[in-house]
Amino acid sequence: MCGIIGIVTGHTVVTGLISSLKLLEYRGYDSAGIATMQDGQVWRERAAGKLANLEKKIKDDGVREGGIGIGHTRWATHGAPTEGNAHPHIVDNVIIVHNGIIENYAELRDELLENGANMQSETDTEVIGHLISQQLKIDKNIETAVQTAIGKLTGAFALAIMIKGEENLLIGARKGCPLVVGIGDVEGHYIGSDALALSPFSRQIIYLEEGDFVFASKEDYRIFDQAGTLVTRDINHVEVQSATMDKGNHKHYMAKEFFEQPDVVQHTLAHYLNMDDNQINIDANLDIKKFDRIIIVSCGTSYYAASVAKYWLEEATNMSVEVDVASEYRYRNPPLNAKCLFIVVSQSGETADSLAALRLAKHKGATTVAIVNVSTSTMSREADFVLPTFAGIEVCVASTKAFMCQISVLATLSIALGKAIGHINADQATTMASDLAQLPRLINDAFMVEPEIKELAHDISKVEHMLFLGRNTSFPIAMEGALKLKEITYIHAEGYAAGELKHGPIALIDEKMPLIIIAPDNEVYEKTRSNIEEIAARGGDITVLTTQKRAKEIRKLGLKAIALPDCSSFLAPFIYTVPVQLLAYHTAVHMGTDVDQPRNLAKSVTVE
Ligand code: G6P
């Protein structure tokens, strides 16, 4: 994680560094810092906590401008989130910011300490500064010295570096973490973690490749590959949607984003579904008959989107569908070959483990598809086919609208593949597609449960643990509900398959254990209903999310029920996501936690 920015224009850079850091804060907010150089002087400001703390410090201390500068927003890996561990780090003449993890840092650090190095921080980054500084004493050529020193690192990194006395030289290097170079729309050069960070200054973007180094001045830039050969990389014209850092009438980005769901789902569906004739049109040449299985890999909320799709894809295609979390998948040596259709699902398109899994699948000959929200991301560029989601920029760390758009794409893909393989016929496909076309209205209607959820949230804000249960596609929604609650309220919550409860977790049930049971009126409703009775018999504090008709029956049992709009089984995961998102949100608001930037989290996880 962590976001990095570097600017060399020869003019004032501080405002630019801060505006980029605002766009990078989604990568971590444990601390932030900037450094500039001017007239032989280096100025550095760092602050623990959010960027606002750094801004305040700069205001209090006074700005010292420079024609070159680097900046960083941190998600702590090595060392506590203190000011002392905040980047930029300065070692002799080297000023450095880093995203990633240096795996051989302990050996390098021991070696440096033995040789008398004076370490100021607990970070792995400082070790890189020492290595470069030492090498510069041996080799006066900055380009070769930097390449030699960085060649000693194992692990993942994206770096921005300045050298004291070199006020027209900005250095970047990457391996395993993304780094882009921007050619200024007006002047100068920029390096940053992503195109979004450079969007205030540059539309001409170069995506550095693995092992690349860049040496940029305000007039020019040179890129070397990992073998040290001068190379030319493509310049891409990128129109990054400007991040509207605006909550509208809402108190939090999360609220703004989940209320956008009817619109962004509509927008996403419109890309894949012709609303006039209910025909699905997937713009990817996937010859489904050549595959014998489908594999979907992802992390976090995207993993739950994939888990919903497993039910749909198996039903629609009659093919075996495997779903896994990327951090496990990539190290399992999984059987993969040209008969596998491999799908990665990711909001950011940068998640380190998901990206590694995608690369593994490509390497082993699978056909790869990326379902991503950020069109300029690494996964978008590397997958064989890209199926974009159109959620727009999601600012809140806890994902809501991106999830809805992911399942929208996966639903259309299920119909398209099912029809192509012949397991569902044209009429069935059209019926399913016309069902999907109802989604924006139904999602909108689902928000009508907000007053009841608000009341429930009041009670939930007092508990320490709770359970979410569901069967079939409601099982992943139960897990997503539990994840949302954990992320933004810090209440311990778990999502279970309702039928699995009796194999252990039922021991937790007593009158102090609240349970949300997701029970749309579908083919497994009666089974879930039996589970509800089992829990009621043990005194569990149950709230059932179900239909109007079923809610009446449940209330007759003396249990709480909240009624959602009637919908088909196919659409249930969309509709039942709304109340679990609302519950997490209103509980967090009651508790006064930081809804948009919860503790310890980051939106884009670029370390494994
Ligand atoms: C982080 C975020 C989650 C997200 C997960 C996967 O943990 O906090 O909200 O679901 O990463 O991210 P991706 O960008 O790959 O969907």
Query: What are 565-579's pLDDT values in tens digits?
Result: 999 999 999 999 999
- Whether the per-residue pLDDT at 159 is higher than 60: the answer is yes
Residues of the chain with CATH 3.60.20.10: 3-243
Ramachandran sector of residue 100 (left: φ over 0; alpha: ψ -120 to 50; beta: rest): left
User: Does the pLDDT at position 247 exceed 90?
Assistant: no
Specify the pLDDT at position 180: 96
The fraction of the chain above a pLDDT of 90, given in percent, is 87
Active site residue 56: no
**Cis status of the peptide bond prior to 440, with omega within 30 of 0:** no
CATH of 443-608, one of 3.40.630.10, 3.30.1240.10, 3.40.50.10490, 3.30.70.270: 3.40.50.10490
Q: How many Å lie between the centroid of ligand 1 and the Cα of residue 194?
A: 16
Mutate to test the pocket of ligand 1, among 604, 607, 608 (most ligand atoms within 8 A of CB): 604
Q: Which two tokens stand for residue 256?
A: 């703004």
Give pLDDT tens digits for 292-338: 999 999 999 999 999 999 999 999 999 999 999 999 999 998 999 99
**Is 2 a residue of the active site?**
yes
pLDDT band, residue 608 (cuts 50/70/90): confident
pLDDT at 241: 61
Residue 542, token pair as written in the block: 């149950």
The mean per-residue pLDDT over the stretch 81-91 comes to: 95
Q: Spell out the residues 6+ positions from residue 561 whose beta carbon is closer than 8 angstroms to its own.
A: 543, 544, 545, 546, 550, 551, 552, 554, 555
User: In this model, does residue 523 exceed pLDDT 90?
Assistant: yes
592 CA to middle of ligand 1, Å? 23
- In this prediction, residues 446-474 reach a mean pLDDT of 97
Taking the C-alpha atoms of residue 124 and residue 39, their distance in angstroms, rounded to an integer, is 30
Kindly report the average pLDDT of the chain as a whole number. 94
348 Cα nearest atom in ligand 1:
14
Cβ of 351 below 6 Å from ligand 1: yes
Domain spanning 3-243, CATH architecture: 4-Layer Sandwich (3.60)
Whether the per-residue pLDDT at 33 is higher than 70: the answer is yes
CA–centroid distance, 399 to ligand 1, in Å, is 7
pLDDT confidence of residue 337: 96
Check whether 602 has a pLDDT greater than 90: no
The pLDDT, as a whole number, for residue 526 is 95
Give the pLDDT mean for 427-446.
Answer: 95
Q: Write down the pLDDT at residue 176.
A: 86
Alpha helix segments (H runs only) across 448-500: 450-460, 474-489
Rounded Cα gap, residues 605 and 258, in angstroms: 22
- Across the range 19-27, mean pLDDT stands at 92
CA of 539 to the centre of ligand 1 (A): 36
Residue 536 has pLDDT above 60, yes or no: yes
pLDDT of residue 245: 59
Assess whether pLDDT exceeds 90 at residue 284: no
CATH 3.40.50.10490 domain extents, the chain: 248-437, 443-608
Cβ(579) to ligand 1 under 6 A? no
- Span 68-90, average pLDDT: 93
Do 305 and 410 contact (CB within 8 A), yes or no?
yes
Catalytic one of 22, 256, 560, 603:
603
Once rounded to an integer, what is the mean pLDDT over residues 543-558?
96
Cα→Cα distances 516→353, 452, 468, 583, Å? 31, 13, 5, 10
Instruction: Among 258, 605, 607, 608, name the best residue to mutate to test ligand 1's pocket (greatest count of ligand atoms within 8 A of Cβ).
Output: 605
Q: Is 603 in the pocket of ligand 1 (CB under 6 A)?
A: yes
The yes-or-no verdict on residue 243 having pLDDT over 80 is: no
Confidence of residue 275 (pLDDT cuts 50, 70, 90): confident
Query: Which are the contacts of 330, defined by CB distance < 8 A and separation ≥ 6?
Result: 353, 356, 357, 360
Instruction: Answer for the pair 169, 215: CB distance below 8 angstroms, yes or no.
Output: yes
Supply the pLDDT for residue 410: 98
pLDDT at 240 over 90: no
Q: What is the pLDDT of residues 213-234, one digit of tens each?
A: 999 999 999 999 999 999 999 9
Distance CA 135, CA 147 (A): 10
Residue 463, φ and ψ in degrees, nearest 5: -100, 165
Ligand 1, atom 8, lies closest to the CA of: 603
Per-residue pLDDT at 182 exceeds 90: yes
Query: pLDDT of 93-147, one tens digit each?
Result: 999 999 998 999 999 999 999 988 899 998 999 999 999 999 999 999 999 999 9
- Specify burial of residue 333 (Cβ count, 10 A radius: 0-12, 13-18, 19+): exposed
CATH of domain 248-437: 3.40.50.10490
Residue among 351, 373, 396, 483 whose CB has most ligand 1 atoms within 8 A, to mutate: 351
